[in-house]
Amino acid sequence: MKKYQHLINLIEKHDNFLLTAHVNPDGDSIGSLLGLQYLLEPYAQKIDILLADPVPQYLRFLNGANDIYLVNDLPDEIKAEDYDLYFILDCSALDRIGQVKDFFVPEVRKINIDHHSDNSNYGAYNYVDATVSATGELIYNLAVELGSNFQFDFGMAIATAIITDTGNFRYSNTSPETHRIIADMLELGVDTQEIIKNVYETESYSSMKLKGKVLTNLEVTANGQVAWTVVDEPMLAKLGAAWEDTEGLVNYPRSLKGVEVGVLFKGVEPEKTRVSLRSNNYFPVNEFAHQFGGGGHPRAAGCTIQAPLAEAKDTLLEKLQMKLKQIKDD
């Protein structure tokens, strides 16, 4: 049987679909949502996308991105019970959909489509494959099994999902299949240059200044194995930058010569610090993040620490050094 045969049966049996993805949506979640929406349109009477947080500016070039609903700003016609299937994309746990969870009614079944290895299979149906680079690859595979005619908008959405989640083919999740999907998309006329330009090369003055500041603040510890930098609300305010401008900054400490773990500390509130972790070769940042209640992938993970920036930083860096030493001793 085909991998998605049962899902295809479900799609054919239902008419009203509500799609969602994780809080602080990124390129893979928005691209997958829009891709799935295009795919389901021929099968749907009613199809909508609903999120807890807004689509970031750098993804608004995608057709349909401005028609996504926000749970805190819902028009009257959106009622959770009017849908007969919920699709939850790119979420390892149900809590990751944020306030959309409270909006959902329990009677409607959830379809969980994701590529995170720590996915908790919270759906009534679970399509989880951690071998693919992006949830967008799973949506592409579903489209192939459905025999869909690929349209330009579908291709742009899926290519955006893949390009962003592989860091433009830089990360180790990039497979031969990843490149082959992009080759097919290019052949259909999808403009990967436009995607790359929107996602990576259209920076605001303030975000560029923020990058400068963050790089100037960069520090190295643990014999050069760990590099880290910080960003907080006063820094952003001073430069006129926003939290979304911090996206991707964690790759700078990671890309320093000899570094195994790169860390970005974000003082999001006086008593709350968000931490992004990246590793290069062997350090399992997701396992490490677990001890702070976080998670993610082996080479890209995150956590939130209920403490001021300086304190969170000292605690985490100390534990990180211990863990690195322990791995070395093993």
Contact residues toward its own copies (CB under 8 A) are 168-172, 174-180, 182-184, 186-187, 192-193, 196-197, 200-205, 208-209, 211-218, 220, 251-252, 254-257, 280
Q: Which residue has the tokens 């944020």?
A: 98
Q: Which residue from 26, 27, 25, 20 is spatially nearest to 110, judged by alpha carbons?
A: 20
Residue closer to its own copies, measured from CB, 105 or 208: 208
- b/e 300-315 (16+ beta carbons within 10 angstroms → b): bbbbbbebebeebbee
In DSSP terms, 262 is beta-bridged to 227, 278
Smallest gap from residue 55 Cβ to its own copies (A): 17
Smallest gap from residue 121 Cβ to its own copies (A): 30
Residue closer to its own copies, measured from CB, 5 or 217: 217
Smallest gap from residue 208 Cβ to its own copies (A): 6
How far is Cα 251 from Cα 22, in angstroms, rounded to an integer? 21
Residue closer to its own copies, measured from CB, 255 or 306: 255
How far is Cα 177 from Cα 16, in angstroms, rounded to an integer? 32
Residue 111 · residue 139 · CB < 8 Å: no
Q: Which residue from 182, 241, 179, 184 is spatially nearest to 208, judged by alpha carbons?
A: 241
How far is Cα 13 from Cα 187, in angstroms, rounded to an integer? 33
Residue 226 · residue 260 · CB < 8 Å: yes
Smallest gap from residue 161 Cβ to its own copies (A): 16
218 phi, psi to nearest 5 deg:
-55, 135
How far is Cα 304 from Cα 96, in angstroms, rounded to an integer? 13
Smallest gap from residue 201 Cβ to its own copies (A): 4
Smallest gap from residue 37 Cβ to its own copies (A): 25
Residue closer to its own copies, measured from CB, 71 or 182: 182
Smallest gap from residue 272 Cβ to its own copies (A): 26
Residue closer to its own copies, measured from CB, 119 or 166: 166
Residue closer to its own copies, measured from CB, 12 or 203: 203
Residue closer to its own copies, measured from CB, 84 or 177: 177
Host H or E run for residue 279: strand 272-279
Residue 12 · residue 42 · CB < 8 Å: no
